[in-house]
């Protein structure tokens, strides 16, 4: 196998793996983990008497995937 053939094979494998990153199961599992983290953090914030809570989650599917939390002050 020549170097070029090996490079083509490896690039094909990389493309396959990148395609797997956007799989539905991965996205669902990511959302579930983030929602659980949101609940844990909000509970800790409440226990410490903090007026702020995570109010939302944004997920960007990419390489690498990105997640951000929106934080708001609780109304009295």
Quote the pLDDT of residue 61.
Answer: 79
Is the residue at 8 inside a domain?
no
Is the residue at 44 inside a domain?
yes
Q: Which helix (H) or strand (E) holds 38?
A: helix 24-47
Instruction: Report the largest interatomic distance among the alpha carbons of the chain, rounded to a whole angstrom.
Output: 70
**The total number of structural domains that make up the chain:** 1
Is the residue at 12 inside a domain?
no
Is the residue at 40 inside a domain?
yes
Bridge partners (DSSP) listed for residue 60: 66
List the Cα angle 62/52/69 in 5-degree steps: 5
Model confidence, pTM: 0.66
Q: What is the mean pLDDT of each run of 10 residues along the chain (76 residues)?
A: 73 60 78 95 96 94 84 86
Residue numbers of the domain that contains 63: 23-76
The dihedral over CA atoms of 68, 41, 39, 43, expressed in degrees to the nearest 10, equals -150
In the chain the first and final C-alpha atoms are separated, in Å, by: 70
Is the residue at 51 inside a domain?
yes
């Amino acid at each position: 196998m020549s170097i070029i053939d090996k490079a083509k094979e490896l690039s094909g494998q990389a493309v396959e793996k990148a395609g797997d990153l956007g799989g539905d199961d991965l996205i669902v599992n990511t959302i579930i983990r983030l929602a659980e983290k949101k609940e844990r953090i909000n509970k800790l914030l409440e226990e410490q008497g903090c007026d702020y809570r995570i109010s939302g989650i944004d997920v960007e599917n990419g390489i690498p995937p990105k997640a951000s939390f929106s934080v708001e002050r609780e109304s009295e």
